[in-house]
Amino acid sequence: MNQFNHVNASTVAEAASLKAGGNAALMAGGTDLLTTLIDYINPTQPATVVNLKNIPNLDYIKEESGMLKIGALARLTDIADSSVVKDKWAALAEAAGKVATPQIRNMGTIAGNLCQESRCWYYRSANNYFHCLRKGGVICQAVPGNNTYHAILGGSGCFSPFPSDTAIALTALGATVVTNKRSIGIEDFYEVLGNTLGNDELVTEIQVAAPASGTKQVYSRYALRKSFDFPVSCVAIVATMSGSNVSDCKIVLGGCVTRPWRVTGAEDALKGKAVNEANAEAVGTEAVKGALALPYNKWLIQLTKTLVKRAVLSLA
């Protein structure tokens, strides 16, 4: 990678200012950023890397008035192991614990996991070999190319798969992303081509309201390699139970989608229903109803349907 200036930001405001100044990259755990620099995946290289880890008091995990608050610099390991998170926000703990390897979870932060760059193999090609739509180019090379692991839902020009595990669980949990500028529902935090952070904006906190009592949570993923891998497809379900029936639910897909993809049709198919084989099959079918297969990724429709079906059955 190229030489760069390394600046230790001591406040969020300082980090935002440095980012706004242009040609700077923010670094928390660095597990994603450094690989992008080593491989020269972007058209330009940052002159400055802003280290956020020295900003004090931004790595907390706490419950306040029934609200889970996680500082942007909280490590994935700590979220996965937190008794507070495991107790009421189990889907998040499960998702955080599935990210990559123990070593990466020890370095990676929640904000970094939410803001990581695409894992599309065209996007990540070294030396910006494929200057794709997502980087300001004119086409998504995955469409005519090898799209075995690309998005079946949410694609629009770009069909990049969505890499974050935690974002899927947080979307099902109805989280809010707090930045130095605003609070924004996580469903609105992402667009097809990435997140909606402004030039002078960075994530400072994640807030999640406590689920109603009797809520069941599931986070389930399929990855080719079980030891460590990005999810090819994943699903989070947060369901309020009424007896053995599901009274209310949120179902969110990840992996083979361009951004956290809530499947309201599947949610409607589950609401008011008992958890059984037939209903789970119907929910799975509904979840992939709008899926659009590219030449190589039709299999992801079947896989995702199965994943959703089994996640529903696990609510029983």
Partner 1 sequence: MADELSVIGKPGNIDQQAVECVTGTIEFPNDVYMGQKLHAKILGSTHAHARVVSIDASAALALDGVEAVVTHEDVPGWSDVKYHVGDAVAAVAARDENTAYHALTLIEVEYEVRAHVVDPDEAMQPGAPLVGLFPDGNTTLRTDIVRGDIEAGFAQADVTIEDESGWTNRWQNSPIGGGNTTAWWQDEILHAWVDTQNPHGEHNGFVGSFALPHNKVRVFAHAAGGGFGGGRAAVQAVAAALAKKTGKVVSLHTDKRDNFSRGVTHFACKSKIKMGAKNDGTLTAIDAQFWGDGGVNTRPPYNGLPDCLQIGIRCPNANFKVTGIITNAPPSGYYRCVQHPPGAFLMNTALEAMAEKLGMDPLEFRLKNVLTLGEPDQDNGRAFSFNTLTECLQDAASGIGYAAGKHAPGAKTLPDGRKHGMAVTGHLDGHGGYSGTGRAAIITLRPDGTCFLNLGISRSACGTQTAHCHFVAETLGLKYEDVKTGDWGATAVTADGGMQAGSTNTNSTGAAFTVAARDAREQLFEAAAKMFDPPVNAADLDARDSKIFLKSDPAKSLTHKEVCARNQRIIGKARAGWDAVLQFDVGPWPAGTPANQRVPVASGAEVAVDTESGEVEVLKWVMVTDIGRVVYYDGAHAQAWAGLYHMFWQAFFGEHIYDRETGMSLNPNFLNHRWPASLDIPYDALQEVLKEGNSGLGPYGATGMGEPCASQYCVIACAIYNALGVWCKEPPFTPWKILKALGKA
Residues 152-211 that bind partner 1 (CB under 8 A): none
Residues 227-256 that bind partner 1 (CB under 8 A): 227-229
146 forms part of the interface with partner 1 (CB under 8 A): yes
Least separation in angstroms between residue 2's CB and partner 1 is 5
The residue (of 15 and 232) whose beta carbon lies closer to partner 1 is: 232
**C-beta of residue 46 within 8 angstroms of C-beta of residue 89:** no
123 forms part of the interface with partner 1 (CB under 8 A): no
34 forms part of the interface with partner 1 (CB under 8 A): no
**C-beta of residue 250 within 8 angstroms of C-beta of residue 261:** no
The residue (of 202 and 294) whose beta carbon lies closer to partner 1 is: 294
307 forms part of the interface with partner 1 (CB under 8 A): yes
By DSSP bridging, strand 67-71 and strand 176-179 are unpaired
The residue (of 164 and 179) whose beta carbon lies closer to partner 1 is: 164
224 forms part of the interface with partner 1 (CB under 8 A): yes
Which residue's structure tokens are 């907390």? 60
Q: Which of 129, 212, 242, 290 binds partner 1 (CB under 8 A)?
A: 129
Start-to-end C-alpha separation, the chain: 51
Count CA atoms within 13 Å of residue 287 on its CB side: 35
As beta bridge partners, residue 208 has 68
Dist CA 314 CA 172 (whole Å): 16
Show the site string, 93-122: x = touches partner 1 by CB under 8 A, - = not: ----------------------------xx
Q: Which of 137, 145, 157, 174 binds partner 1 (CB under 8 A)?
A: 145
The residue (of 116 and 204) whose beta carbon lies closer to partner 1 is: 116
Q: Which has the closest alpha carbon to 150: 285, 301, 312, 294?
A: 294
Show the site string, 38-77: x = touches partner 1 by CB under 8 A, - = not: xxx-------------------------------------
Give, in degrees to the nearest 5, the angle at Cα 174 between 171 and 175.
85
Least separation in angstroms between residue 304's CB and partner 1 is 10
48 Cβ contact list (under 8 Å, min separation 6): 4, 5, 6, 7, 18, 21, 23, 24, 25
Question: Applying CB under 8 A, which part among 82-90, 104-112, 163-171, 305-313 lies near partner 1?
Answer: 305-313
Dist CA 302 CA 61 (whole Å): 37
278 forms part of the interface with partner 1 (CB under 8 A): no
- Please give the backbone phi and psi of residue 312, each rounded to the nearest 5 degrees, phi first: -60, -45
Angle, helices 277-287/299-313, rounded to nearest 10 degrees: 140
Which residue's structure tokens are 């399929």? 222
Dist CA 115 CA 16 (whole Å): 15
The residue (of 76 and 301) whose beta carbon lies closer to partner 1 is: 301
Least separation in angstroms between residue 144's CB and partner 1 is 7
Which amino acid, one-letter code, is at 164? S
Q: Using CB under 8 A as the criterion, which residues of the chain lie in contact with partner 1 when the complex forms?
A: 1-3, 38-40, 121-122, 125-127, 129-130, 141, 144-146, 148, 222, 224-229, 296, 298-299, 301-303, 306-307, 309
